Amino acid sequence: MIVAMVMSVALTGCDGMIYDDEGDCAPRYKVRFVFDKNLSFADAFSNEVNSVTLYIIDPESGRIVWGRRESGEKVKADGYLMDVDIAPGTYNLIAWCGDGVGTHFGVPSASVHTDLTCTLVREHDATGAATVSRNLNRLYHGCLDNAEFVEEEGTHVQTINLTKNTNDVNVVLQNLSGKPLDKDKFTFTVTDANGKMDWDNSIMPDEKVTYKAYDVVSGTAGLVVPDYNDDNPSLAPSRAITSINTCVASISTGRLMADRRDKMLLTVYNDKGGVVASVPLIDYALMVKGRYKDLEDQDYLDRQDKYDVVFFLDERDDWIKTHIFINSWKVVLQDAEL
């Protein structure tokens, strides 16, 4: 009889609730990271993000009361949750994530949340201009205000949604005359003053950064064109092969901002320093949202992380300023002075 009474107390000592994995019935706090701000509208966290740094802030004082960094296979495992060891209460959460943190982007040691800025690591050339010519490691940001960590038994999970800050820009030059293109005769850049982000991921005042191509290749592709016999459709079509000469440059950039749509310039120079082509990248990217046209401009830019831009050149390697292609969408240019 005594044994039965002891067992009953053990099973009902936590307000009558049973927690198999929590013998002391103390609350357990965890944080989930989600990256579904992409054009697939699906959580790609485990496939894309390999490190997370979380800061927990007292909302009244702004002081950082707890922090942890985790990386590697643990983070990429399905169902990953970060264990959080804090007293019950209401907090603000800030996260800088991805292998870009500590490599291509710096986040300082801080005691208050306003110091949790993130700055692109850049070089300076002989003229003092800031330049970046690397394939940037991925960078993500997330924040959550007024997260309640309640003083109740059980496991309590808060969720932080991430925004990707790094982007890939692929620039293709295509010569319509059939003339070969020498990759060493072109320089590809994207410029913007977007290399410093505040704790809330907004863009802070910064010097202009020139993102240079980290990889440039040239080549020739064969295009098979069917040539049907209009007089006798029953005849098998002949096949013509046309050669297309191209030059492809890969550039990695920081975050694209809708309120800076006329500030970020994509420019191609020739080997004499002349401008072959120059367009406001963000402005043009927002023209071709396509089936995502109902998205707000900034939401679209945050979800889209790859931009393919095709310029067509004539026999003198001059840009034919009638149209360009962006992400396979044709943009017809009305202003020949662009």
pLDDT tens readout for residues 122-168: 999 999 999 999 999 999 999 999 999 999 999 999 999 999 999 99
Residue 283 falls within a domain, yes or no?
A: yes
Q: Is the pLDDT of residue 258 over 60?
A: yes
Q: Is the pLDDT of residue 9 over 50?
A: no
Residue 304 falls within a domain, yes or no?
A: yes
Window from 156-170, 178-192, 213-227 with minimum mean pLDDT: 213-227
Note whether 144 and 241 are same-domain residues: no
Q: Are 53 and 74 in contact (CB under 8 A)?
A: no
For residue 3, what pLDDT band results from cuts at 50, 70 and 90?
A: very low
C-alpha–C-alpha distance, residues 69 and 220, integer Å: 46
Q: Are 279 and 324 in contact (CB under 8 A)?
A: yes
| Count of structural domains, the chain | 2
Note whether 83 and 171 are same-domain residues: no
269-290 pLDDT tens trace? 999 999 999 999 999 999 999 9
C-alpha–C-alpha distance, residues 77 and 57, integer Å: 27
C-alpha–C-alpha distance, residues 138 and 244, integer Å: 33
b/e map 15-38, b = 16+ CB within 10 Å: eeeeeeeeeeeeebbebebebebb
Bridge partners of 98, per DSSP, are none
C-alpha–C-alpha distance, residues 331 and 311, integer Å: 11
Note whether 147 and 184 are same-domain residues: no
For residue 299, what pLDDT band results from cuts at 50, 70 and 90?
A: very high
For residue 242, what pLDDT band results from cuts at 50, 70 and 90?
A: low
Note whether 65 and 198 are same-domain residues: no
The CATH number covering residue 202 comes to 2.60.40.2090
Note whether 194 and 91 are same-domain residues: no
Query: Which two three-digit tokens encode residue 232?
Result: 């006798």
Largest Cα separation within the chain, whole Å, is 103
228-239 pLDDT tens trace? 444 555 544 544
Residue 92 lies in domain: 13-99+138-164
Mean pLDDT within 99-117: 97
Of 330, 192, 307, 158, give the one whose Cα is nearest residue 261: 192
Phi-psi bin for 292: left (phi > 0), alpha (psi -120 to 50), beta?
alpha
Residue 261 falls within a domain, yes or no?
A: yes
